Amino acid sequence: MSDQIKNAIQEYATRLGDDSVVLGHRISEWVSYGPFLEEDIAYGNVSLDYVGRARLFYSYAAELADDGRDEDDFAYMRNDREYRNLLLLEMPKGDFAYSQVRQLFADVYYTLVLPELLQSKDETLAGVAAKAIKETKYHLRRSRDWVLRLGDGTEESHKRTQKAVDQLWGYTHELFDMDETEQLLVNEGIAVDVSKLRDAWLKMVSDILTQATITVPEDSWAVRGGRTGYHTEHLGHMLTEMQIVHRSHPGCKW
């Protein structure tokens, strides 16, 4: 494997790790704040799945980097400008409708991405995909049901759900952006060509939203930048909190 490819895979694994840890962290903020006990437990399971995924992707990135770093160095010792996650995933948890709409957007996305990643020539990435596919199948079942209930529930829940959809829609466009790094890996049969997935995503999401009596927004605005480290203001605060203990004791084990 050429150094160029190897570096690209390391970057790709890091991006996927960033996506997972950021969303996993946001979901974990719900613990003890759920609308009732059963949901608190159930949503915690989703968070565990995502942080678990992050560990696998980071470990692989660390293995490729081969410079003595481990999964925690990737999660805790990189600044917000170095993080490469999608903006959608770093948005604050908001209210329950906001979190579930974001979850639906992400779950549908991974429902489409993961089967492609399963075909990757890179065995490690394909292996993570195989595990994650099962998790996502369950996540989607949950988020779809929640959006249906909230969208077609009371007037208030409908209003909140529509608002969340409108507020988050503009962050979904970059989910399907490609850059040179990913294009290089697509050509090698390693990465997923996400640019081909937008139509399918739009159809699945629109069907669910329509069923939930929610209006699918027009594509009137789009914010981009996660993959280049050009983040919203929210990520900095999130990482400050997440990294504070780790960074306060340099070089320590936990």
Partner 1 sequence: MTAPQEENFMRKIQAEEKIEPKDWMPEAYRKNLIRQISQHAHSEVIGMQPEGNWITRAPSLRRKVVLLSKVQDEAGHGLYLYSACETLGISRSEMIEQLQSGVAKYSSIFNYPTLTWADVGAIGWLVDGAAIVNQVSLQRTSYGPYSRGMIRICKEESFHQRQGYEAILELAKGSPGQKEMAQDALNRFYWPALMMFGPHDSESAHSQKSMEWKIKRETNDDLRQKFVDQTVKQIEVLGLEHPDKAIKWNEERGHYDSSDLNWDEFWSVINGNGHCNRQRIEHHVAAHEEGEWVRDAITAYNDKKRAKKAQNAA
Partner 2 sequence: MTNITEKLELFEVFVRSKRGLDHKHIGSLHAEDHEQALEYARDCYTRRTEGVSIWVVKSDDICASQEDDAECFYDPSDDKPYRHATYYVLPDPVNNM
Is residue 118 near partner 1 by the rule CB under 8 A?
no
CB 92 within 8 A of CB 156: no
Sign of the Cα pseudo-torsion (103, 11, 87, 22, in order): positive
Identified binder of partner 1 from the candidate list 15, 25, 142, 231, rule CB under 8 A: 25
Q: Cβ 153 to partner 2, closest distance in Å? A: 10
Within 141-170, which residues bind partner 1 (CB under 8 A)?
148-150, 152-154, 156-157, 160
Contacted entry of partner 2, partner 1, none for residue 71, CB cut-off 5 to 8 Å set by kind: partner 1
Is residue 41 near partner 2 by the rule CB under 8 A?
yes
CB 171 within 8 A of CB 102: no
Helical axes 198-211 vs 96-118, angle rounded to 10°: 140
Nearer to partner 2, 48 or 216 (CB): 48
CA distance 199 to 210: 16
Could you give the C-alpha distances from 187 to 60, 64, 69, 184, 224, in angstroms and in order? 21, 20, 29, 5, 24
Tally of residues, the chain:
254
Q: Cβ 43 to partner 1, closest distance in Å? A: 9
CB 77 within 8 A of CB 17: no
- The site for partner 2 (CB under 8 A) is made up of 36-39, 41-42, 45, 141-142, 145, 149
- The site for partner 1 (CB under 8 A) is made up of 21, 25, 28-29, 31-38, 40-41, 44-45, 47-48, 51-52, 54-55, 58, 71-72, 75-76, 95-96, 148-150, 152-154, 156-157, 160, 241-242, 244-246, 249, 251-254
